[in-house]
Structure 1
């Protein structure tokens, strides 16, 4: 038995270690698939095309993909699609920017100070329990039906997920880092810059993904409230005239905006958090 044990070489031990690593790695999600984010939407598009070609989907209920493409080309040729898309994108970006800025500032003030948390966290939780879209009648009374109401509605919806996840990220930082900083004499400002804010970045980026989705959901609703421009206005007019193909064009535009926005945030997340090793790495 001792002879057999002696025959094991260091190379064999390395090979065994490598095999163990491979086995452990198989427990993860696997290798990254190029353009994997597009597989699901392409599959849905294929099912839509097959259903329309076989007659399973009634064109009066859901227009065929080729009809939608032709309608989109006609709208783009007239310039109507570009104008509506630009208006909607500006509304969403403005509301998103304001909501992210306000939510981040409130989260930092609340996450780094007990006094700030006592003053800020309660009202935010109250707002969290009230759907933003339920505030639209009140916002119309305060701000009218113009652009201010639409942007504020989007910003209010965006603010909550940014605050919740950033605040959670700040409070999840381990206390031993603060103890170490005090031991080596790091100032509070330097500690916040070098440890606290980078440590809260994962929570902030997760909140940003939710915020982007919330911004688009709020955009869909506010653009159908006495709007005179935007993708939602185009959908409302098409609904009044029974133009299913135009409605589907608008919905596809919203879907593309959502995919592009979420993909952009995920790309930023991979670049900003490249130091983290996760199962998705």
Structure 2
């Protein structure tokens, strides 16, 4: 490995294999690795392939219910679930339930992810921060989600604050863990190169270290978002009068299996939609930084 370049020179930055380092090299204009042109790399083809399994499940579901293999009170038909959705929509309940649950998830996810990114950076970049914070946060991470519910209700009462706080706790740990772990394993030669160009502190973090761990950060955000939906259901099952979690609890108490399945399908669709939005943001960030 050659010595780091001196600031202001045009010496290329090399990776471990002696090739120009694309993550931090303004002088490399070489050709990129050719992208695959297979059929599965086309957006339309991938979308059709992705729909194949849900369609197959829907067809199998319809066949099982229409053939009488499973009793309707155990597994209602797709038409029954659709009628339950129409009934809730006509009573002006479906849209508010979806809206309030989505709002809770997005606010809690934003708060938890921001704190997770901050503390993950402190633990990943500072030995003192690692020694001081990592053991305690590791112990708190092992606490089950439902264990927080009675404490948050006592502290914050049954309101939005307790629900959003619980969701933020769920979103915090995936981001914190992935960011801290990724920053510990950033290529030291890349950091040395950044310092050779005069980058220190926040500029070094935002210009070199954060772009280097960007794929790990996005993976942590996706895990955090999925965890947020899980914690939402935990919050709304116990202390709520609106939302998809409340719909699950109320439907279970009333034996409305059609509404239970409807709530599960809506949670799956909303989770996939929000995950896709992070996927779009990932493409932009990778194009911008990585």
TM-score of the superposed pair, with normalisation by structure 1 = 0.82
| Distance of aligned partners of 1:241 and 1:195 in 2 relative to their CA distance in 1, 3 Å threshold | same
Contact 1:83 1:230 in 2 (8 A): yes
How far apart in 2 are the matches of 1:152 and 1:218? 10
Moved more, 180-189 or 71-80: 180-189
- Asked whether 1:71 is paired with 2:84, we answer yes
Contact 1:162 1:208 in 2 (8 A): yes
Contact 1:223 1:230 in 2 (8 A): yes
How far apart in 2 are the matches of 1:264 and 1:42? 23
Contact 2:179 2:220 in 1 (8 A): yes
The match for 2:170 is 157
The match for 1:257 is 270
The match for 2:103 is 90
Gaps of 5+ in 1: 1-20
Please say which structure displays the higher CA radius of gyration: 1
How far apart in 2 are the matches of 1:172 and 1:29? 35
Count, aligned residues: 254
How far apart in 2 are the matches of 1:45 and 1:217? 24
SS in 2 for 1:130: coil
In the TM superposition, 1:221-240 aligns within 5 A as 221-240=234-253
| Distance of aligned partners of 1:276 and 1:223 in 2 relative to their CA distance in 1, 3 Å threshold | same
The match for 1:147 is 160
Q: CA deviation at 1:107?
A: 0.9
Q: CA deviation at 1:275?
A: 8.1
Structure 1 residues 238-260: Cα deviation after superposition (integer angstroms, max 9, x where no partner): 22222221222111111111111
Gaps of 5+ in 2: 1-32
- Asked whether 1:270 is paired with 2:283, we answer yes
TM-score of the superposed pair, with normalisation by structure 2 = 0.80
- Asked whether 1:117 is paired with 2:130, we answer yes
How far apart in 1 are the matches of 2:140 and 2:286? 30
- Asked whether 1:99 is paired with 2:107, we answer no
The match for 1:214 is 227
| Distance of aligned partners of 1:179 and 1:119 in 2 relative to their CA distance in 1, 3 Å threshold | same
